[in-house]
Every structure is written in C-alpha cells, then in structure tokens.
Structure 1
Amino acid sequence: MALATRTGYSPIQILLHWLIAALVLFQLVFGESMAEAVEAAEEGRTLDAGDQFMASAHYWVGIAILALVALRLVVRLGTGAPAPIGEGVMVKAATAMHHLFYLLLVAVPVTGLMGFYLGDPWGELHQFSKPVFIVLIVLHAAGALFHAFVLRDETLKRMLVPTKS
C-alpha cells in the first residue's frame, strides 16, 4: 500500500497543503466581512463596495477551499502519505488532529454555504468554527515546531521538501 512506502509528501500534496493553509488564514482574517454583509442584509442596509468585495471574496475562497480539499483527499487516496514519525500517544494525537482538520475543512465551507442560503442555525455553527480552527492551527504549528526543534526529526521537513518515492 502506498501509505507505508512513501517517505515524504509529493509536490502536489505540499502545494495543496500550503495553498489551503493560506486560504484558511485569509478566511480567518477577513471573514468578518461576510458577517457584516449578512447583518446589513437583515437590516436592509447597503454595503460599501469594499465590504461587498470582501464578502464576495469570503464566499468564493470558501468554495475554493472545499474544492482544493476534495482534490487533496483524492491525491492522498491515490498517492498515500508517509508513515508518522514517532509512536504511541503522539502519533494518535497527530492522527486525530489531521482527521479533525479534514472534517473542519469540509464542514466549515458547507455550513457557510448553508448559512448563506438557509440562515441559522447553520450560520451560527459556521461562525463557531473560527475559534476551533484557530486552536487547531496553533496546536498543529506547535506540534510541527516541537518536531523540528525539540525532537529534531524530519516531520516538518517532509511538508517543505517533496520526495519522489
């Protein structure tokens, strides 16, 4: 099985990882524009051009994230992933974190779309995801840095430098 034979990630896996990460960061930083647009619509107010542009960007970036995550899952199923470095509870925690990331990367755009078209409770659920994402990202980055600077293993390097096998 490809999962056991890979020693690192492919260039497309690395590209998708960092592209999705950048788009999620964009959403977290600029996502309030969509909340402002929804509030303005409920109150019958008109948004200025900048807020309208950012709300539209939030919508389309969310759809792009959903499409890229689908592609990432297809690539992962087709090419596999390297075996985790480490053992025991750390590997279980990393596996759980990655599964939670994939769940959020699908559920958050879907609940955003449902909130946009159907309203609450989907919109409220979508907004609740922001702090969850932030906590998960901080833990993920801390884990990567822990591997790089404390354990001094190849975990972080594998998501920076592609391998051929």
Structure 2
Amino acid sequence: MSKTQPAAYSPVHILLHWAIAALIFFQLVFGESIKDLGRALRGDGTPDAMTAFMGNAHIWVGIAVLVLTVLRLIVRARFGVPAPIPASRVQELAARGGHGLLYLLMIFVPITGLLAWYGGIREAGELHELAKPLFIILIALHVAGALYHHFALKDRTMKRMITSRT
C-alpha cells in the first residue's frame, strides 16, 4: 500500500464522500420503510408496491453504503489523503475520532441490518436501530465542524471536499 500524501483529495475521494453522504441521508429519512415491509411480510405476506419498493430500497442502499465505504477505505489506503490543515491538538483529536466513528458506523450499521433482515438476528436489529441517533449526532458534529472551519476559521478544510484543485 502506498504511503503517499497527495496535495488534495482526488475526484474519486470527493465523489465517494458525497455519494455515501447522500445514501446515508436517504437512509435516515426513509429508513423506517423497512419496518413497514417487515410488518407487511409478517402479516398477510403481501406488501403494497410502495412498501415493497421502499423496504427493498433501504436494503440495497444500505448495501451500497457498505460497498462504497469499503471502496473509500481502499482508495484512502492506496492513494492517501491530504495532510490535515494545521489545528489545535484538541481539534485534530476530535476530527480523527469523529471520522473514525463515522467510518465504523458506515460499516457496522449495514452489517447489523443485513444480519437482522437476512439472518433473523434480533439483537443485530436492535443494534442497527440504536445506531441511528448516534449517526445523526456524528453527522451533525461533522457538518458543524466543517461549517466552523469554513466560516469561523476561514481555512480550506471544507473546500477540500468540494474540489480537487489546490
């Protein structure tokens, strides 16, 4: 694996970041649809078309989040990422910890969802549901941090995930 440190995030890094963000947003907004599908299948076994579509979309979007996250980690390991913009030790630790937890959830949540849905593991489903508020909190902190860097510190932290130009 390469230990290079590029000057900017590549278009692939940026595309993966925003694609995963959009998919997670979809899951947070429409994620309850999987419960509707589960109830319909346990009930009379025939969900209406919209319930079936949205429930299955939840499954496939979750799989996409998992696959794209793994791909993002591979790209990150293979091609590196730019050095962080200099900040206080506390900010660096917060950023590193927040990103680490987000990556962990982007892998853990889809896996627990799949184990619950296809494996019938109730505990996995409970963990899957418990992760939603944690995801929301971490995303809110991530966005707040990006906005703080952009508007208060006026550094290039946020711009680096919008354009690959240095």
Q: Residue 66 of structure 1 contacts residue 106 of structure 1 at CA under 8 Å; is this kept in 2? A: yes
Consecutive unaligned residues of structure 2, counting only runs of 5 or more, are none
**Cα offsets for 1:108-164 (capped at 9, x unmatched):** 000000000223011111111111111111100000000000000010010001147
State the 1:84 CA deviation: 1.4
Percent of aligned pairs with the same amino acid:
52
Over the aligned positions, Cα root-mean-square deviation in angstroms equals: 1.3
TM-score relative to the length of structure 1: 0.93
TM-score relative to the length of structure 2: 0.93
CA distance in 1, matches of 2:107, 2:148: 27
CA distance in 2, matches of 1:75, 1:134: 25
Aligned to 2:155: 153
Matching residue's letter, 2:125: G
CA distance in 1, matches of 2:162, 2:49: 38
Larger RCO (alpha carbons 8 Å, 6+ apart): 1
SS of alignment partner, residue 158 of structure 2: helix
Q: State yes or no: 1:88 paired with 2:92.
A: no
Alignment counterpart, residue 138 of structure 2, candidates 136, 139, 142 = 136
Q: How does 1:1-165 map to 2 (within 5 A)?
A: 1-2=3-4, 5-85=5-85, 86-119=87-120, 120-163=122-165
CA distance in 1, matches of 2:41, 2:49: 14
SS of alignment partner, residue 121 of structure 1: helix
Displacement over 4 Å in runs of 4+:
none
Consecutive unaligned residues of structure 1, counting only runs of 5 or more, are none
